A and B are shown apart, each in its own frame.
Chain A
């Protein structure tokens, strides 16, 4: 079974530039998550999708971050414009059944390490 795919693996940008990350979840997984993991901290949920609808985006800084999951499969997360404090690893995860997602194990991708200079 193929795992969660993410690209790029690394990205270095200047502050105020834009950046986009891509995630392809495990086939058949209805729920998709984007996390931000700052060095020394645990993953912080940014947004959770069930199919192509947003379940939770309460911690997404909507003035600069946006995410979409068209067609309920792969997803993109965008930052525009980036700030120094956005330097982090951005993790994508997926899990089965959305309505009972609290019971389900999350499968994580390798992450994208973003450095903002």
Chain B
């Protein structure tokens, strides 16, 4: 069965600091990878996704993620965070059968 691990449960940064959130998955077949974000009081929404091609994908609000197949990882990065990036971030994996698995999320708090 597939699983997704997000190693950081809570990250606290100051504005302008760089961000990297880890995501590792376990599944032997082809996967599609997603990062979703939930801002306070809002719905879960897509941040970025990877299907194929360039392993470095760019999403909204300056976020990017790199797929490293050999490490089964899809880490999320942002060079300079803002207070408005305070949110919960979820990594998700879809198999070709369409089955979705989410990680337990990382809460990011950005101090102004």
Contacts and interface: CB of A to CB of B under 8 A. Distances in A.
Contacts of A31: 98
Contact of A101 (B92, B94, B102): B94
Interface residues of B, number: 25
A91 interface: yes
Given A42-B4, A42-B105, A105-B34, A56 B98 contact: yes
Given A41-B104, A105-B34, A105-B49, A48 B98 contact: yes
B101 A45 contact: yes
A62 interface: no
A72 interface: no
Interface string B24-63: 0000000010101000000111100101000000000000
6 contacts: A42-B92, A42-B105, A43-B44, A45-B100, A48-B99, A108-B43
Interface of B: 4, 6, 32, 34, 36, 43-46, 49, 51, 90, 92, 94-105
Q: Give the 6 A-B CB pairs with smallest separation, nearest first.
A: A42-B102, A102-B94, A101-B98, A108-B44, A42-B104, A105-B46
